[in-house]
A = this chain, B = another copy of it.
Amino acid sequence: MKLNVGFIGSGNVAWHLSHAIDSAGHTVSQVISRNEDHAKELAVKFGALYSTRLSSVDASMDVCIICVSDNQIQTVVEQLVPSRVLMVHTCGSQRMDVLTPCSPNIGVFYPLQSFSKGRSTDMMKVPFLLEASSSSNYQILEKLADSISNSVQPADSETRLKYHLAAVFVNNFTNYLFQESASFLEENQLDFDVLKPIILETALKVQHLSPKDAQTGPAKRGDVVTIAKHRELMQQSPALLELYNELTKRLSKKP
């Protein structure tokens, strides 16, 4: 089934989804973005219409995918002219019913991945969590998702929020640890590049092993001598030391 798909938004999520959807043989027919240059840049790749006006949603499309960040969706919804188009958002933290004012046909098309401009992503491996206001709407979203990914499942708004929270830990908080580590090395005129292979290996390991089985380190094995040596190095970095102590305490308590 070939679908006619429009986009609201022209950022990373819109960029990656529209290319995957186009490659899967569907039609990307419209791109609406407050930034006309971005809308145009994306639309011309697919021979699609583009606009900056949220009132211009083409009523003939099968699905309109709103790709704006979680905290902008409310504003977009308020400016849309109600229609019968199947309107979906792509946010982990927003309930489906935030879209109720737009259309009787609504849903969520949430790719649980962090997309970056200029970095290609294997969309076939991206988990899509879907929700819809009716089973026929769900079937449309499922067809669309199945055509671009091998990992598609239903998830209601609460389930989706739980995954979103879990993703904050493994993505945002993990990256914060990378930041702290990079700052410490920089303060000591050392090179963050040296850590890159172990960062990658840490992520690769839990693709096949449970995080519990993958856990190693001084805190895990109760190596108080090494922990004391580490603490010594952070005498000039009290905030870092505090984080080290907290995480070491938590790891030591783990069974």
Interface residues of A (CB under 8 A from B): 69-71, 93, 112-114, 116, 119, 121, 125-127, 129, 151, 153, 159, 161-182, 184-185, 188, 190, 192, 194-212, 214-221, 223, 225-226, 229-230, 233-234, 239, 243-244, 246-247, 250-251, 254
The contact of A194 among B112, B182, B195, B209, by CB within 8 Å, is: B112
The contact of A166 among B129, B185, B247, by CB within 8 Å, is: B185
**B177 adjacent to A174 (CB under 8 Å):** yes
Residues on B with beta carbons closer than 8 Å to the beta carbon of A204: 119, 200, 203
**A114 adjacent to B166 (CB under 8 Å):** no
Q: How far is the CB of A16 from chain B (nearest CB, A)?
A: 12
Residues on B with beta carbons closer than 8 Å to the beta carbon of A116: 205, 209, 214
Residues on B with beta carbons closer than 8 Å to the beta carbon of A153: 194
Residues on B with beta carbons closer than 8 Å to the beta carbon of A225: 71
The contact of A169 among B161, B163, B181, B208, by CB within 8 Å, is: B181
Can you list 24 residue pairs at the A/B interface with Cβ under 8 Å? Answer: A69-B221, A70-B223, A71-B223, A93-B226, A112-B195, A116-B214, A119-B205, A119-B208, A162-B233, A165-B184, A167-B181, A168-B244, A169-B177, A169-B184, A171-B199, A172-B216, A173-B251, A176-B247, A177-B177, A178-B206, A182-B211, A199-B203, A203-B204, A243-B246
